[in-house]
């Protein structure tokens, strides 16, 4: 699969996404593909096998969100979802710990069918994008073809991601995160081909407001990923998932605290800057944290805007604002 660049004058936007925040941002940007083609690189660390089917929660969230099919209230899964199969599995004492919706299951069955046909993960995702009517100009690519599985080391021992996230609802205090298999992984060839197609023009990279440990870590930790992105990027922008000291959803703030980091926009900024030195150019915080900008050295290019995308119109506003920020080189 090669990323088609229709309008050579446009600088493509590459969005790194995991979880609900990234998916919402991708959805907002999917309205802007006439202005800027968008490549969404999705987190694969949450992927797992269930009932013999490969489930890719973060990739699927982006597919559902960008095709207008995400359940916006729940923030995951498909809208108008039903649970007939899960009920029947439960009725037969089968494994029902994972909330598998009927529409969602249909997608997993089609993914499995494409994989059996020999399609790679990027190819399958392309097929599913087409079947779901993801807008043209929006390309969704899982970060790698290799298996990377997030495992969390907690005070109660090591757990697989879904065990921790769904089974234990993120309750056990976290001590470390391990990305199993990441040493042998490499950036998706389809992603590199898409980036190569932009070789004459640099790209802009946006890190979605996603959990830095559970969502962005498995992407940025893939050997070569940082340099491939940074080497081609005009600007790298990171949107904070921490607003007013809390994560809108998910355990980002809880985990930062458990790891001894200040759960705040500045805390997030400084941790990311230290973890990935020289990677991010521009830091985006929510309006709520405007008062904290002065607490950071001037060397940080911090911008402030409305980022709470669960509120109406905010996602679209943030998308336009990001395009504006990215319209000039840093």
**Contact positions toward its own copies, by CB under 8 A?**
51-52, 82, 84-86, 88-89, 91-95, 102-103, 105-107, 109-110, 112-113, 116, 128, 131-132
Least CB distance to its own copies at residue 69 (A): 10
Least Cβ distance, residue 83 to its own copies (angstroms): 9
- Structure tokens, 130: 């087409």
CA-CA-CA-CA dihedral for 210, 213, 216, 219, to nearest 10: -160
Q: For the CB of residue 80, give the shortest distance to its own copies in the complex, in Å.
A: 10
Q: For residues 281 and 322, is the Cβ–Cβ distance under 8 A?
A: no
Reduce the secondary structure of 20-40 to three states and give it as a string. HHHHHHHHHHHHHCCCCCEEE
Query: Considering beta carbons, is residue 92 or 328 the nearer one to its own copies?
Result: 92
Q: Which residues pair with 13 in a beta bridge?
A: 38, 204
Q: In the complex with its own copies, which residue's Cβ is closer, 54 or 259?
A: 54
Beta carbon nearer to its own copies, 89 or 197: 89
With beta carbons less than 8 A apart as the criterion, state whether 2 and 193 touch: yes
Residue 145 · residue 191 · CB < 8 Å: no
- Closest contact distance (angstroms) between CB of 76 and its own copies is 16
Measured CA to CA, the distance from residue 227 to residue 215 in angstroms comes to 19
Q: Which of 106, 329 has the CB closer to its own copies?
A: 106
Nearer to its own copies, 85 or 166 (CB): 85
Name, in order, each residue with C-beta under 8 angstroms of 290's C-beta and a sequence gap of 6 or more: 304
Of 239, 296, 312, nearest in space to 262 by CA: 296
**To the nearest whole angstrom, how small is the minimum distance from the Cβ of residue 100 to its own copies?**
9
Residues in the chain: 330
Q: How far is the CB of 88 from its own copies (least distance, A)?
A: 3
Please tell me what DSSP assigns to residue 75.
S
Task: Give, in order, the Cα–Cα distances in Å from 34 to each of 7, 9, 12, 143.
Answer: 9, 12, 11, 24
Q: What's the min distance (Å) between Cβ of 36 and its own copies?
A: 27
Q: Which distant-in-sequence residues (6+ apart) come within 8 Å of 80 by Cβ?
A: 71, 103
Name the residue nearer to its own copies (CB basis): 106 or 173: 106
Nearest alpha-carbon partner for 222 in 41, 59, 48, 56: 41
| Whole-number Å distance between alpha carbons of 279 and 292 | 22
Q: State how far the Cα of 41 lies from the Cα of 229, in Å rounded to an integer.
A: 11
93/199 with CB nearer its own copies: 93
| Closest to its own copies by CB, 85 or 153 | 85
Shortest Cβ distance from residue 232 to its own copies (Å)?
33
């Amino acid at each position: 699969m090669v990323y088609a660049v229709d309008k050579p004058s446009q600088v493509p936007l590459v969005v790194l996404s995991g979880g609900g925040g990234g998916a919402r941002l991708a959805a907002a940007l999917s309205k802007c593909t006439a202005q800027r083609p968008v490549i969404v690189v999705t987190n694969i660390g949450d992927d797992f096998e269930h009932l013999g089917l490969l489930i890719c929660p973060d990739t699927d969230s982006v597919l559902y969100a960008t095709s207008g099919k995400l359940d916006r209230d729940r923030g995951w899964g498909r809208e108008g979802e039903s649970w007939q199969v899960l009920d029947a599995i439960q009725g037969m004492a089968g494994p029902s710990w994972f909330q598998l919706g009927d529409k969602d299951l249909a997608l997993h069955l089609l993914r499995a069918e494409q994989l059996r046909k020999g399609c790679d993960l990027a190819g399958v995702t392309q097929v599913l994008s087409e079947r779901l009517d993801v807008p043209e100009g929006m390309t969704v690519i899982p970060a790698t073809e290799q298996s990377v599985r997030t495992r969390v080391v907690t005070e109660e021992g090591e757990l697989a991601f879904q065990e921790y996230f769904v089974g234990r609802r993120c309750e056990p205090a976290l001590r470390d995160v391990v990305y199993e298999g990441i040493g042998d992984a490499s950036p998706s060839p389809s992603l590199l081909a898409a980036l190569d197609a932009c070789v004459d023009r640099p790209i802009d990279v946006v890190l979605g407001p996603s959990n830095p440990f559970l969502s962005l870590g498995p992407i940025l930790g893939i050997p070569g990923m940082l340099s491939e992105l940074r080497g081609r990027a005009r600007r790298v922008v990171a949107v904070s998932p921490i607003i007013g000291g809390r994560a809108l959803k998910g355990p980002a703030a809880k985990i930062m605290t458990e790891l001894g980091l200040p759960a705040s926009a500045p805390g997030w900024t400084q941790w990311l800057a230290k973890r990935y030195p020289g990677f991010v150019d521009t830091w985006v915080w929510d309006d709520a944290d405007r008062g904290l900008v002065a607490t950071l050295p001037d060397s940080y290019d911090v911008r402030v805007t409305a980022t709470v995308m669960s509120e109406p119109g905010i996602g679209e506003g943030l998308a336009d604002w990001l395009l504006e920020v990215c319209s000039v080189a840093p």
